């Protein structure tokens, strides 16, 4: 029972928390022009022809130089190089506050599929969002209720509005008419880690674009990554369409059901 509750708590926290593109380079080189002139002194008259031929043989090199100059001049006239798509993709990012726009939310629900030890567990989690400061620090509070084996688990998480770092986590377990209140530790790893020295808003790295179907519908989404977590984001939706996370113990897929 204790291990199962721990897994459920981890899933609740992952909902909130749960984060090089190698740009190919092209080497360019200039190939020199080589010409071998073989002179066969058969007749004195051919010497004149050979002399003319030697003059002609120099002409392509002159034309090549002129051609190179022309290319440079054309480039200077405003030729625009082809964009490096891979480099642009690697430079694109998304702030965590854009991915989870809590100011636009009151309630949302995810279908969570967790696989541990070869066993799949599917749970629908419903969340509520409020603005609730912690020790004078402006924060978003998310609350989730989980029903399991006659017990109700309520997990509350406070995130700083400034950088989405975890400020506080509490858990209440109601079982057999009794409440058990616990204050959990904030994560030490991940984008919301309380120990992170970076005080700025976490940024997710763009991976690609694709169509994603979840219980809430089918969306044209952009895929982002932050550490070992993958997020699917659709413009106009104030939270991820889908989230996946894999660790040594459990793999989790969260799919959006609804939001308001």
- Residues 20-39: tens digit of each pLDDT: 333 333 333 344 444 344 44
Domains and CATH numbers, the chain: 2-17+92-259 (2.50.20)
| Residue in 181, 135, 198, 129 with CA at minimum distance from that of residue 157 | 129
Is residue 123 within 8 A of residue 114, CB to CB? The reply is yes
- Within the chain, how many helices (H) and strands (E) appear? 4, 12
What pLDDT shows up at residue 74? 46
What pLDDT shows up at residue 78? 54
φ and ψ at residue 227, rounded to 5 degrees: 55, -125
Higher pLDDT, 21 or 149: 149
Distance, CA of 241 to CA of 213 (rounded, Å): 9
Higher pLDDT, 2 or 244: 244
Is residue 242 within 8 A of residue 231, CB to CB? The reply is yes
Distance, CA of 254 to CA of 193 (rounded, Å): 20
Flag whether pLDDT at 143 surpasses 80.
yes
What pLDDT shows up at residue 197? 67
Quick one: average pLDDT of 177-185? Answer: 90
Higher pLDDT, 159 or 37: 159
Distance, CA of 212 to CA of 218 (rounded, Å): 6
Residues 6+ apart with CB under 8 A from 242: 212, 214, 221, 231, 232, 253, 254, 255, 256
Residue 64 CA, chain-centre distance (Å), reads 47
Is residue 159 within 8 A of residue 140, CB to CB? The reply is yes
Distance, CA of 23 to CA of 250 (rounded, Å): 33
pTM of the model: 0.64
What pLDDT shows up at residue 187? 87
Distance, CA of 150 to CA of 175 (rounded, Å): 7
φ and ψ at residue 2, rounded to 5 degrees: -65, -45
């Amino acid at each position: 029972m204790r291990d199962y509750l721990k897994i459920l708590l981890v899933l609740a926290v992952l909902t909130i928390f749960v984060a090089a593109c190698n740009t190919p380079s092209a080497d360019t080189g200039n190939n020199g022009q080589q010409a071998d002139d073989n002179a066969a002194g058969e007749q004195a008259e051919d010497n004149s022809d050979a002399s003319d031929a030697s003059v002609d043989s120099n002409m392509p090199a002159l034309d090549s130089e002129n051609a190179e100059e022309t290319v440079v001049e054309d480039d200077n006239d405003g030729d625009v190089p082809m964009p490096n798509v891979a480099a642009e993709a690697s430079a694109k990012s998304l702030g965590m506050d854009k991915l989870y726009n809590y100011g636009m939310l009151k309630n949302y629900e995810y279908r969570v599929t967790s696989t541990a030890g070869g066993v799949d567990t599917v749970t629908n989690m419903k969340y509520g969002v409020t603005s609730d400061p912690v020790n004078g620090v402006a924060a978003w509070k998310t609350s989730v209720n989980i029903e399991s084996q006659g017990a109700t688990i309520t997990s509350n998480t406070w995130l700083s509005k400034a950088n989405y770092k975890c400020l506080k986590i509490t858990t209440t377990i109601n079982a057999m008419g009794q409440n058990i209140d616990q204050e959990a530790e904030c994560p030490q790893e991940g984008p919301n880690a309380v120990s992170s020295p970076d005080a700025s808003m976490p940024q997710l790295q763009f991976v690609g674009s694709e169509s994603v179907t979840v219980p809430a519908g089918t969306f044209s989404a952009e895929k982002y990554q932050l550490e070992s977590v993958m997020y699917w984001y659709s413009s106009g939706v104030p939270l991820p369409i889908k989230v996946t996370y894999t660790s040594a113990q459990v793999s989790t897929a969260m799919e959006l059901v609804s939001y308001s």
